[in-house]
Amino acid sequence: MTVRGLLASHGLVTRGGLVRTFANAAKKPADRFAEFIASAGARQGDIRGIQANAVNKVFGVMNALGAIAFAYSFSIILLEIQDTLRQPPKASKTMKPAAMAGISAAFAFYFTVAVVNYSAFGNNVSGFILDAYPGPKWLLVVGYVCILLHMVSAYQVFGQPIFDTIESHIKAFHLKRAQAAADAEALGKGAEELRRIFLRRMSPAVSERLSRLSATASMYRMSTGFANEAVPLNEDHYFLPLWQRLLCRTLYVILTTVVAIVMPFFTDMAGLVGALTFFPLSIFLPIRCWRVLYHPTGAFSALLWFVEISMGIVCACATVASVRGIILNWTTYKLFAS
C-alpha cells in the first residue's frame, strides 16, 4: 500500500471514529429524552377535569381567573416604563405597539403552555409546571435558569419605582433636616423666602425640579402624600449616598425574598393578589381617567361600563375563591416546607 493509500485509510478511520463518537455522545441524551417522554405519558391524568363536586369546580375556575389577572397586571408598571422612553416620538405612540406585541406574545406563550401541559398531564398537572416533570435533570435545570434570567430582569423593572419611592422618603428626611438647620434670619422672613434661599443653595437641576414640582402640585387639589411628589428623583441625578441606596435596596430584596419563600399555596396566593390588584389598577383607574379626559358617549361608553362591571364581578369572585382556597389549605401548611 502506498503512502497516499495509508493516509487515505487513516483519514477514513479517523472520520469514522469521530462520527461514532458523536453518535455515542448523542445516544445517551436521546435515550434519556425517550425515557422522559415515556414517563410523561405514564403520568398522564384525566383530561375531563378534576375529580371534585360542582362547588369546588366553580371555585377552582374563579381562582384560575384570578391567576390569569395576576399574569396580565402589567398596568402597574406601564406608566413607569413609558416615563423613561425617549421622546420624540410620543411615548404613547411607542408604547401602544409595544404593549400590543407584549400582550399577544404573552397570550400565545401562556395558552400554548396551558394546552400542551394539560394535554400531557390532565388533572395531574401541578400549579408550578416544572414540578410535573420527572426529568431529565439537565432539562429542568435549563428551565429554572431561564426562569431566573427572566425574573432578574423583571425584578429590576418592577423594583426601580419601589426603590425610587423608598429613597424619596429618605431624601425628604434629609431635606427637612437641612431646612430646619437654615439661618434663623431667613426663617423670620417667612417660609417662601426660606424656600427660595434653600433652592439657591442647591444645584440648578435640583432647584428646577423642585420648582417644577411645586408648580405642578399647585394645579391639583388632591395630594397622594408620597414623598416623591416634593423631592428630586434619581432621574434628575440627585442620588442618595451609595451606602444608603445599597442598604435600603438590599433590605428590600431580602424582605421580598423571605416573603416569597414562606408564601404558602402559590396558586391561591397568585389568584388573590391578581384579583385584588387587577381591577383597581388595570380596569377602574384607566377607565376613570379615560372618561374624565375624553368624555365618551353612546355605544363606546356603554362598552366601557360593561367591561368595568363585568371585570369587577370577576375579580370579586376570584377574591372569594382565593380566600376560600387559602383557608382550606391553611391546616396543611408548614413553614419552609417547600
**Distance linking the first and last C-alpha atoms of the chain:** 69
Q: Is the pLDDT of residue 310 over 80?
A: yes
Question: Are the C-beta atoms of 314 and 282 separated by less than 8 Å?
Answer: no
Residue 197 · residue 186 · CB < 8 Å: yes
Reported confidence tier of residue 186, pLDDT bands at 50, 70, 90: low
pLDDT digits (tens, 9 = 90+) for 19-47: 343 344 444 444 554 555 555 445 555 55
Residue 289 C-alpha cell reads as 381617567
Overall average pLDDT of the 152-162 stretch? 82
| 220 has a pLDDT exceeding 80 | no
State residue 51's pLDDT score. 67
Q: How many CA atoms lie within 13 A of 280 on its CB side?
A: 4
Could you give the CA distance from residue 322 to residue 298 in angstroms, rounded to a whole number? Answer: 36
Q: Give residue 282's identity as a one-letter amino acid code.
A: S
Amino acid at site 278: F
Q: Is the peptide bond before 97 cis (omega within 30 degrees of 0)?
A: no
Distances (CA, A) of 38 to 112, 120, 138: 21, 11, 17
Residue 227 identity (one-letter amino acid): A
Number of H helices, E strands in the chain: 12, 0
pLDDT tens-place string over residues 76-96: 777 777 777 777 787 778 888
pTM of the shown model: 0.58
User: Residue 251: pLDDT band by 50, 70, 90 thresholds?
Assistant: very high
Q: State which amino acid sits at residue 69.
A: A
Phi and psi torsions of 264, nearest 5°: -85, 160
Cβ-contact 290, 224 below 8 angstroms? no
* pLDDT(260) > 70: yes
Return d(Cα 319, Cα 21) in angstroms, integer: 58
The contacts of residue 8 (CB under 8 Å, 6+ apart) are none
